[in-house]
Amino acid sequence: MQLRLTCPNFVTGIDEPALFTGFPCQTGNIPEAEGYGMELDAQYAIDDPWRNTWTISGALGLLETEVNDAGPDVPEYDGRELSQSPNVTWNLDLGWVSPLGFDAEISARHVGGFQQSHVIYDGTNGRYYEETDSYTLYDLKAGYETKLRGTELRIDAWVENLTDRRYKLPSWAPDEDRAGRPRTFGVTVTARF
């Protein structure tokens, strides 16, 4: 058994970050913004009596951002989060490796909701585009590795977004509704000579 933990923390001050101002290819700079957060990463490996290796791993990311000084041109941005900055992300994986060359992994990936853009769509009421909904995606992969006539051969079959979850990707034009990747199947064959 083996346990590994890491926990980096960060604080970032940003002078004059670029801010999308509402028209295609038009950005401006605001005087100051900041971000701080942490990431926690853990991995636990277990060898069972049949020489299989099981691995449980996961990560948690926490992020807080704020426009500290939006300047005189866009004072309504003061105190708002930076766009496309989810407050929470996490992933969880369960992996299995057999001494016979087989392996499998199932994983979950989560992205918390975030402010899509700073673009104002109702100047009278000062309302902003809505937050993008949080989403969780599940992936599955199974593989086999062997040697064939001196060549290392690996075959993987995988499914990304197993539940075919519909989700929206970040975009600088939040009214475009860029769709995330749907359920995707694949087979990969790798040979090393």
How much of the chain is helix, strand and coil, in % rounded to 5? 5, 60, 35
User: Residue 118: inside a domain, yes or no?
Assistant: yes
Query: Nearest CA to 63 among 84, 81, 36?
Result: 36
pLDDT, residue 22, reads 55
In angstroms, the CA 70 to CA 122 distance is 19
Q: For a pLDDT cut of 70, what percent of the chain falls above it?
A: 84
pLDDT score of 65: 92
* pTM score: 0.82
Query: Which pLDDT value is given to residue 140?
Result: 98
Give the C-alpha separation, 34 to 68, whole Å.
7
167 domain residue, yes or no: no
Q: How many domains does the chain have?
A: 1
Tell whether 157 is covered by a domain.
no
Region 104-133: what's the mean pLDDT? 76
Query: Which of the pair, 40 or 29, is modelled with greater confidence?
Result: 40
Domain residues for the domain of 135 are: 2-142
Structure confidence by residue, pLDDT tens digits, 118-129: 555 555 655 555
pLDDT bucket at 169, cuts 50 / 70 / 90: confident
Neighbours of 189 (CB within 10 A): 8
Q: Is residue 172 included in any domain, yes or no?
A: no
Residue 161 in domain? no
Confidence of residue 187 (pLDDT cuts 50, 70, 90): very high
Cα dihedral 46, 47, 48, 53, rounded to 10, equals: 90
